[in-house]
Amino acid sequence: MSAPPAEATPLDGLRVLDLSDPFGQYAGKLLANLGADVIKIEPPEGDAGRRIGPFLDDLPGPERSLFWWYYNADKRSLALDIAGDDGLDLFLQLAAEADIVLETAQPTADRPFDPLLLADACPRLIVLSLTPFGQDGPWADWAWSDAVALALGGPMGSCGYDNLEGAPPIRPTEHHAGHIAAYYAVFGAIAALYEREVSGLGQHIDASVHEACAFTIESSAPWALYERHPLLRQTGRHAGPQPTEPWQYPTADGRLINIFGMPRSEAAWLRLVQLIQRDGLGAELSDPQLLDGRNRQLGLKQETALRMLDQLAEFIAANAAEEIYHGAQQAGAAWSIIRTPDEAAEDPHWTERGFFIEVEHLEHGRTATYPGAPYILSRTPWRQQRRAPLLGEHTVELLKDELGLDPEQIAALAAAGIVA
Amino acid sequence: MPHSPPPTSPPPLAGVRVIDFTWIVAGPTCTRLLADFGAEVIRVENQQTLDSIRFGRPHPNGFDPPDSSGMFNWLNRNKRSITLNARHPDGLDLLKRLITVSDVLVENYSSRVLESWGLGYEQQRAIREDLIYVSLCGFGHSGPQRDYGTWGPTAQALSGLTAMSGFAGEEPAGWGYSYLDHMAGFTAAAAIAAALHHRRRSGEGQHIDLSQVESGMVLTGPATLDFTVNGRRYAETGNPPGNRSVWPRAAPHNTYPTVGGDNWIMITCTTDAHWAELCSLSNHPDWRDDPRFATLPARLRHEDELDDLLAVWTSAQDGRALMLRLQEAGIPAGIVQNGVDLVERDPQLKHREWTARRNHEVIGEHETDGLPVRLSRTPAHRDQPGPRLGEANEYVYGELLGLDPEQITELMISGALG
């Protein structure tokens, strides 16, 4: 147990072989940004993630996918065909020396290897299988997409509109089934690493996207478990056992304020009322009944709260979003502006915290601004040292340094289409 | 089973003690994962400012707080509970003593609460140098909006996630629950596992500063890059697109109605082969031969007509039966399930033993859910229900801190135990 150097990362010195499909690549990114040496093993023709947009200047190309850039930052690329025996053998040699193998192949007959057998063969290795439905069960080999996972898993059923006749449930965009599952998988894998420090033993981890989504649905879970009671989906607010009042209100400058997070203390309530009444609006908010927080409580459709909401809506409609947001927050109400991601990126708070990072893309002659750390670790900072790898960028160095192959052997493998 | 675990391997975080100053959903989601993985999680509660989830519905066996909430029991299984008032000098002293025997302290209060107790990270560190301190709040512990507050919906709106759900031209459909309470909790749990791993190798603790809004902004990578790299604003191009595809592009890719009222199936033909299979199983060679639908670009151009045709076809069918037919043909399709479907009608979850029966002194017999990540040798557990308020006072103050029963009673009377 030697102490890592100062400014270490939590996963310093650990190697991850990342065989994941696009949906699993966030898991590999999280491990890479925590300091692991993550080698993305992709087929010689390039990973499917390279074909997912949006693209740099809207021109598709294996090195132009912004999806690939984001989800594979800080990884190295080994272009290796493991569908055939020779490539698989090279992979297995690397696996024997690795700490984590991340793989997402569904448990069908044609997957390149059995992850349980790999875990058995390599006692220190943690084999992280992140698959749509897990390693067994009637749906284990089902076809899927992120949207299908959100439908089957529950998140989608809670989201939608109650004020649009016949509107379906809506799945929020941007691959959230993969996001949810990635955190579970990474938590499990790091916990297994932690345990391995003492036992010296690896293990197999069976992570299921379907199960990760199931019950990442907040109160729908206890209402189902205890009462068998499905919840009603409602526009822009929590699904509930009964209909509730709207939370989203339009501003004078054509944006929306979400008023969820009303003040709970009397002092904060009075500050909010003062803000609203500054311009002569909201006279009815001085109703002494509203001093009692119970009469302001939303969700019950009580008359006092409905009158309060009318007054709030009038105030919001008369003012600009940024002013309402800062005024309400400073009064002690956790109101928000509904921002698109580009609008969110323009809030100076995140710049001040150093959230956005600049990443160099020398081959395109530019840098790009990325969302940065999901956590600030004071001693072992989250880091992103380099952009996502070019296809096969590290193939030669890995074959040479890690597998001891000479230039002739590497050329032969390339000629046979096994590496690129 | 090729991998046969010794039956007695404890969960991976066994031996880790966590002081849990969390409430509502985000923090308890984090500490639930830690507890399921074997950490000893001690919720520290104050009767004057109880976690409002202790009053949260449903109350399966009747409303009798603080121990009757199903919501609380669901979020807090496998944890212990003590009562303590950190604003009472003796309470604060006890808390400091508890820190000396703990590994992690997690809180999701507003950003200055622990400082106001005289227990910011530097003070915690003076008590126990290798402590891992996790603060989870809306905007983090720095920056001009540090003192602003968030709930899940606030953070979702500010991060961009709310706006990314719904139909263009309508107000956002957003999220029907506090997604970022879950995700901030998961994010914190992953960071804690990493910090524990570092501590085991180096002996060093640290402060983990987590912002709930940032935990959402990291989930918008491609959309944010489309702005920072291509200059394209999210809403410019018909976003959000309902249930149609964004990236990768695919069509058909939507929800379609099935019989029985508010029932829907998500069908996503992500390849041309999927589309050909769909035309054949639906007995619609006319669709296959229609030039409007011959290629993906063509289908994307005629998505309205395509979706209308499919909706007519699906609306006469049973969703579950249709899903099976589509899946047999290898087409990615799934019905929209709600929570009750998951516990009652999902054969995959049933096969994987997703729910298990447990008992709770106040709530009684109930079901608890599973863990989506299964470790072969050191599995997680779901044995204990959520704690009754203060049920571990004797264990923590007596056994861990070595107070005798008279001292505990005195502290109780003085108000130090909240």
Query: Could you give the 3-state DSSP secondary structure of residue A356?
Result: strand
pLDDT above 90 (res B6): no
Q: pLDDT tens digits for B27-69?
A: 999 999 999 999 999 999 999 999 999 999 999 999 999 999 9
pLDDT above 70 (res A4): no
Closest Cα in chain A, distance from residue B357 (Å): 10
Which of A218, A338, A342 faces B177 most closely, judged by CB atoms? A218
Query: Could you give the 3-state DSSP secondary structure of residue B86?
Result: coil
- Which residues from A are below 8 Å from B139, CB to CB? 349, 353
Q: If you average pLDDT over every residue of chain B, what do you get?
A: 96
| A179–B contact, CB cutoff 8 A | yes
Contacts of B161 (CB under 8 A, 6+ apart): A172, A174, B174, B175, B179, B180, B216, B219, B220
Residue B268 is given by DSSP the state E
Q: pLDDT tens digits for B102-115?
A: 999 999 999 999 99
How crowded is residue A9: how many other Cβ atoms within 10 Å of its Cβ?
23
The answer to whether the CB of B396 falls within 8 A of the CB of B41 is no
Pairing of strands A376-377, B17-21: unpaired
* Distance (Å, whole) CA B167 – CA B153: 18
Residue A12, both tokens: 């310093």
* Distance (Å, whole) CA B158 – CA B175: 13
Contact A214 B372 (CB under 8 A): yes
Contact B58 A133 (CB under 8 A): no
The answer to whether the CB of A158 falls within 8 A of the CB of B262 is no
Query: Could you give the 3-state DSSP secondary structure of residue B288?
Result: helix
* Distance (Å, whole) CA B276 – CA A272: 59
| pLDDT confidence bin for B2, thresholds 50/70/90 | very low
Query: Could you give the 3-state DSSP secondary structure of residue A318?
Result: coil
Contacts of B136 (CB under 8 A, 6+ apart): B22, B26, B27, B30, B106, B107, B108, B184, B185, B188, B210, B212
| A285–B contact, CB cutoff 8 A | no
Q: pLDDT tens digits for A334-384?
A: 999 999 999 999 999 999 999 999 999 999 999 999 999 999 999 999 999
Closest Cα in chain A, distance from residue B344 (Å): 8
Q: If you average pLDDT over every residue of chain A, what do you get?
A: 97
Contact B228 A370 (CB under 8 A): yes
Share of chain B above pLDDT 70, in %: 98
What spatial distance separates the first Cα and last Cα of chain A, rounded to whole Å? 37
| A245–B contact, CB cutoff 8 A | no
**Which of A208, A244, A336, A366 should we substitute to test contact with B (largest number of B Cβ atoms within 10 Å)?**
A336
| A1–B contact, CB cutoff 8 A | yes
- Which residues from A are below 8 Å from B330, CB to CB? 143
* Distance (Å, whole) CA A278 – CA A272: 10
Closest Cα in chain A, distance from residue B272 (Å): 14
Q: What is the pLDDT of residue B7?
A: 55
Which of B13, B177, B208 faces A238 most closely, judged by CB atoms? B177
Q: What is the pLDDT of residue B167?
A: 98
Query: Could you give the 3-state DSSP secondary structure of residue B333?
Result: strand
* Distance (Å, whole) CA A287 – CA A16: 62
- Which residues from A are below 8 Å from B157, CB to CB? 258, 336-339
| pLDDT confidence bin for B8, thresholds 50/70/90 | low
Residue A115, both tokens: 């992850």
Q: What is the pLDDT of residue A194?
A: 98
- Which residues from B are below 8 Å from A192, CB to CB? 12, 375, 378
The answer to whether the CB of B228 falls within 8 A of the CB of B283 is no
Any bridge partners for residue B277, and if so which?
Answer: none
Provide the ipTM: 0.97
* Distance (Å, whole) CA B173 – CA B164: 9
The alpha carbon dihedral of B299, A146, B314, B280 has a sign of: positive
Residue A278, both tokens: 């500054």
Residue B161, both tokens: 């996630």
Contacts of B352 (CB under 8 A, 6+ apart): A134, A136, A137, A208, A211, B370
* Distance (Å, whole) CA B53 – CA B387: 13
Ramachandran sector of residue A354 (left: φ over 0; alpha: ψ -120 to 50; beta: rest): left
- Which residues from B are below 8 Å from A235, CB to CB? 171, 173-174
Q: Of B143, B163, B162, B141, which is closest to residue B151 (Cα–Cα)?
A: B162
Is residue B64 part of the annotated active site? The answer reads: no
Q: pLDDT tens digits for B127-143?
A: 999 999 999 999 999 99
Contact A368 B225 (CB under 8 A): yes
Total residues found in chain A within this entry: 420
Any bridge partners for residue B265, and if so which?
Answer: B256, B335
Q: pLDDT tens digits for A145-166?
A: 999 999 999 999 999 999 999 9
Contact A176 B5 (CB under 8 A): no
pLDDT above 80 (res A311): yes
Q: What is the pLDDT of residue A6?
A: 53
* Distance (Å, whole) CA A19 – CA A28: 9
Q: What is the pLDDT of residue A279?
A: 87
Residue A76 is given by DSSP the state E
Q: What is the pLDDT of residue A169?
A: 98
* Distance (Å, whole) CA A325 – CA A133: 42
Q: pLDDT tens digits for B164-213?
A: 999 999 999 999 999 999 999 999 999 999 999 999 999 999 999 999 99
Closest Cα in chain B, distance from residue A272 (Å): 14
Contact A137 B352 (CB under 8 A): yes
Contacts of B27 (CB under 8 A, 6+ apart): B20, B21, B106, B107, B108, B136, B185, B188
Restricting to A residues 196-235, those with a Cβ less than 8 Å away from any Cβ of B are 197-199, 201, 203-212, 214-231, 233-235
Burial B349-363 (b: 16+ CB within 10 A, else e): beebebbeebebebb
- Which residues from B are below 8 Å from A173, CB to CB? 164-165, 239-241, 246
Write down the catalytic residue from B90, B181, B369, B383: B181
The answer to whether the CB of A246 falls within 8 A of the CB of A236 is yes
Closest Cα in chain A, distance from residue B403 (Å): 32
Query: Could you give the 3-state DSSP secondary structure of residue A234?
Result: strand
Domains in chain B (CATH in brackets) are 17-218+355-414 (3.40.50.10540), 253-336 (3.30.1540.10)
Identify the H or E element spanning B228. Answer: helix B221-230
Residue A56, both tokens: 């740099």
Closest Cα in chain B, distance from residue A373 (Å): 7
Contact B342 A215 (CB under 8 A): yes
Kindly list the strands in the beta sheet with B263-268, ordered across the sheet, starting from the edge strand earlier in the chain. B253-258, B263-268, B333-335
Q: What is the pLDDT of residue A168?
A: 98
* Distance (Å, whole) CA A414 – CA A80: 9
**Which of B16, B267, B352, B358 should we substitute to test contact with A (largest number of A Cβ atoms within 10 Å)?**
B352
CA B329 to chain centre: 33
- The topology under which CATH files domain A15-216+354-415 is Rossmann fold (3.40.50)
DSSP B339-391: HHHHHHS-HHHHHTT--EEE--TTT-SEEE---SEEESSS-----S-PPPTTT
Residue A85, both tokens: 């025996």
Q: What is the pLDDT of residue A1?
A: 42
Q: What is the pLDDT of residue A285?
A: 97
Q: What is the pLDDT of residue B64?
A: 97
Which of A222, A340, A344 faces B58 most closely, judged by CB atoms? A222
Residue A82, both tokens: 């493991």
Contact A222 B73 (CB under 8 A): yes
Which of B143, B234, B354 faces A352 most closely, judged by CB atoms? B143
Nearest-by-CA chain A residue for B184: A374
Query: Could you give the 3-state DSSP secondary structure of residue B106?
Result: strand
Domain boundaries, chain A: 15-216+354-415, 244-250+256-337
Contacts of A317 (CB under 8 A, 6+ apart): A249, A250, A251, A252
Q: pLDDT tens digits for A26-48?
A: 999 999 999 999 999 999 999 99
Query: Could you give the 3-state DSSP secondary structure of residue A93?
Result: helix
| pLDDT confidence bin for A183, thresholds 50/70/90 | very high
Contact B217 A355 (CB under 8 A): yes
* Distance (Å, whole) CA A185 – CA A130: 7
